[in-house]
Structure 1
Amino acid sequence: MNTAQYDHSLEKYAELAVKVGVNIQPGQYLWVAASIGTEDFVRLVVKKAYEAGAGNVHVQWSDEEVTRSFYEHAPEDEFNFYPPWLVEAHKEVIDKKGAILSIESENPDLLAGISTDRITSYAKVKAESLDYFYEVLEKDGISWSIVALPSQKWADKVFPDVSQNERVEKLWQAISRTVRIDQKNPVEAWNSHIELLQKRAAQLTEKNFAKLHYKGKGTDITVELPEDHIWLTGASKNEQGHPFIANLPTEEVYTVPHRLGVNGVVSNTKPLAYQGNIIDGFSLTFEEGRVVDIKAEIGLELLEKIVYMDDGSDYLGEIALVPHQSPISSTGILFYNTLFDENASNHFALGSCYPTCVKGGIFMNDLEREVHGLNDSVVHEDFMIGSEEMDIDGIHRDGTIEPVFRKGNWAF
């Protein structure tokens, strides 16, 4: 890898994360969550944030070996406990109207072989403890963004047939293309890309479909949509009106399904990487919105525990459209990372919804959301269902049918 070229690309990436991802504002507090191994990039992010006028920049480090040791050796009681001081720290970010930047670089198999009870128990108690924090994120109350950086173990998983000393560079090149830092002006490239996505989202909102009918390999499912639903993109505005992009990369337009209006069967087309485990070869059958049957070739026990984690985790909270002919899909790479794989494929999410996807949704109380068919859960787990074979029809409220996708791509 050309060191000078790599350093230049890393600096452009840091600038993109700060100026486009979280779009840091003068005096704004920034929390950076990152794993050991990303130090050079994190240092650049901190520098770029201060140069952009940030207030305090706090870095919260994690370490894979420490995380693995926790799940392997900690006392059983610890998996039903989440530190109150961490809850307060997250709340302080909201109170300060700060921003959150997460830098992913984890091994997809980090927790392979760990008890599924430990994994899901801790995931649940963490989600419950941070319920207020996640609700603010779902309402776009503060700016937040997720980016990724290659690690050796992640690259080993993605490129097992490539010489080991070339894998990290190959993964870095793929990430660079998908986040557009290989272009002369990445910020300008992102502005143009988001504009195109927003035009597509506006078209779908205007059509105001009553339902979408998906058909593909192992999938035949109908999803009802609330009458006042809105299609959105990865670009949002926080409560202060400042734009940010939650996921870099992003290729999706998404909305909310009606909680009780999902019927049929859906099958995954890419593995789901969940808490350091892989779930694959699975299908979910829905009746009146609820999952009534689960099958999986790999990770069935873990998938069942995710689906039935609470009263809302067995319903859908999000549907997203991504054409098969999109930049990430066109790489032909299976990333084993939802940040990338969900942006190469149509996908659904089990669990909580984004209330921003319904007119006035962020101002609704729990009862009003329920009346509008919005789902609530401690879970929000995306899984990929799209392929080059998928057809999707939009069903209008008068019963007429309009093609939305044909052979995995837009039909209009």
Structure 2
Amino acid sequence: MEFERNLDKYAELAVKVGVNIQPDQTLLVRSPIECAAFARKVLVHAYKCGAKNVHIEWSDEQSTLLRYLNAPEESFNEFPKWTSDQYVDIAKEGGAFLTIYAQDPDLLKNVDPQRVANFQKASAVALKEWRTYTLSDKCKWSIVSVPTEAWAKKVFPGASSSESVDKLWEAIFKCTRVSGQDPIEAWKNHNADLKLRMNFLNDKNFKTLKFKSSKTDITMDLPEGHAWLSGSSKDPNGIEFNANMPTEEVFSMPHKFKVNGIVHSTKPLVYGGNVIDDFSLTFKDGKIVDFTAKEGAETLGKLIDTDEGSHYLGEVALVPFKSPISDTNIVFFNTLFDENASCHFAIGAAYRTCIKNGAEIKDEDCDNRGVNQSLTHVDFMIGSNDMNIVGQTYSGEEVQIFKDGNWAF
């Protein structure tokens, strides 16, 4: 009974705080079939909030794997136009999008990486117009996660299937503040706390950030007019929503051409059904000029080669080493959770909301403003308990932002 109550609270939280559904609004839910029970609860809560239509787009990992193993090569260079048209139509009419992200980290480990890379690029091209809505908060969107057996077994390999799923549910409820008496009020307070950090960084208007740990030594400039964001965002109508649940980050964009040094991953990255782990990236004038990886090197190389913009960074996010997710001491093999347990950067596109009047910047002017464009946006984790971050203002003042992995203020 307690689990069912928490499951219902989680679905309500996703609807009321995640996408914050309003009367007469359309909601598209993208869900694995294994997460059907949760998706149906989301549907009920959305209609209770006055949603006009709730569409559920189901996916099946085993069917996905069978396709990668058996479909003809040329099919991976295509993406269904009706899918991209549907997304854009819903975004244009002011609809919202909820993604239930619960991927088996090893699903495609025995698949030709080129097939995966081809389809990743084809889908990115097809969904480019829709992504302009999410990257600039022109529509409400949110990502949550629900345990599946394959994912849970990866996180807790020593437990039985049922035990691993139960343990992952427990961790998710804790990290998303569902376990408390009033999760919605808890998220209101959490968003307010993150805004305090955000406001401090915006008031300082840093020109340069220096990241230093035992493995990472990197300096980046921030574009003029950059903005730090955190927690909740607002759509064009001023309606608040939380794109990530959970979230612990305060984030902005680095200047596309002003990143120099080496950065080393501190958690595995799951990308395209494969694990990339223990990797480093070397930057010169913003561009990735070298990389290493003990696991998933070929997959990492194909990610970097997606397009010109995937050779550059689009996001810098600050997350303390001591946080609810990090304190679980769990490697989730799920970027939604792992990125919110660690400072992280993102390969690829920048969020236009992270610079003044970003939505009005023309594509041809982005390079002059230091704003990266790409078909992809992939976060990877770099935070550690010995990470120190120093910000330098335009007047030359140096401010300690992180000390030994945590906020210094």
Q: If the length of structure 2 is used for normalisation, what is the TM-score?
A: 0.99
Describe how 1:6-405 pairs up with structure 2 within 5 A: 6-405=3-402
Alignment-mate amino acid for residue 333 of structure 1 = I
Distance 1:314 1:253 in 2: 23
How far is 1:58 from its partner? 0.4
How far is 1:166 from its partner? 1.2
How far is 1:153 from its partner? 1.0
How far is 1:79 from its partner? 0.7
How far is 1:106 from its partner? 2.0
How far is 1:368 from its partner? 2.8
- Aligned partners of 1:361 and 1:369 also within 8 Å: no
Alignment-mate amino acid for residue 107 of structure 1 = D
- Aligned partners of 2:219 and 2:261 also within 8 Å: yes
Distance 2:112 2:140 in 1: 34
Q: Could you give the per-residue CA deviations for residues 121-165 of structure 1, whole angstroms, max 9, x where no partner exists?
A: 100110011101001110100000001111111111001123443
Distance 2:214 2:362 in 1: 39
- Aligned partners of 2:390 and 2:399 also within 8 Å: yes
Q: CA RMSD in A?
A: 0.9
Q: Could you give the per-residue CA deviations for residues 31-60 of structure 1, whole angstroms, max 9, x where no partner exists?
A: 000001111111111010001100010000
Distance 1:48 1:355 in 2: 31
Distance 2:386 2:108 in 1: 33
DSSP-derived class of the 2:226 partner: coil
- Aligned partners of 1:217 and 1:267 also within 8 Å: no
Alignment-mate amino acid for residue 323 of structure 1 = P
Distance 1:5 1:168 in 2: 16
How far is 1:72 from its partner? 1.0
- Aligned partners of 2:320 and 2:342 also within 8 Å: yes
Distance 1:225 1:385 in 2: 18
Distance 1:388 1:321 in 2: 13
How far is 1:204 from its partner? 0.2
Distance 2:96 2:161 in 1: 36
Distance 2:127 2:34 in 1: 26
DSSP-derived class of the 2:309 partner: coil
| Stretch of structure 1 that moved more, 398-407 or 137-146 | 398-407
How far is 1:105 from its partner? 1.9
Identical-residue share of aligned pairs (%): 48
How far is 1:94 from its partner? 1.3
DSSP-derived class of the 1:226 partner: coil
How far is 1:396 from its partner? 1.6
Instruction: Extract unaligned runs of 5+ from structure 2.
Output: none
- Aligned partners of 1:201 and 1:231 also within 8 Å: yes
Q: Runs of 4 or more off by more than 3 Å in structure 1? A: none
- Aligned partners of 2:195 and 2:231 also within 8 Å: no
Q: Could you give the per-residue CA deviations for residues 308-367 of structure 1, whole angstroms, max 9, x where no partner exists?
A: 110110100000000001110011000000000000000000000001111111111113
Distance 1:366 1:160 in 2: 46
Alignment-mate amino acid for residue 77 of structure 2 = N
DSSP-derived class of the 2:174 partner: helix
Q: Could you give the per-residue CA deviations for residues 375-406 of structure 1, whole angstroms, max 9, x where no partner exists?
A: 00001000000000111111122333211111
- Aligned partners of 1:15 and 1:45 also within 8 Å: yes
Distance 1:151 1:129 in 2: 28
DSSP-derived class of the 1:100 partner: strand
Distance 2:191 2:384 in 1: 23
- Aligned partners of 2:332 and 2:338 also within 8 Å: yes
Distance 2:61 2:15 in 1: 25
How far is 1:176 from its partner? 0.2
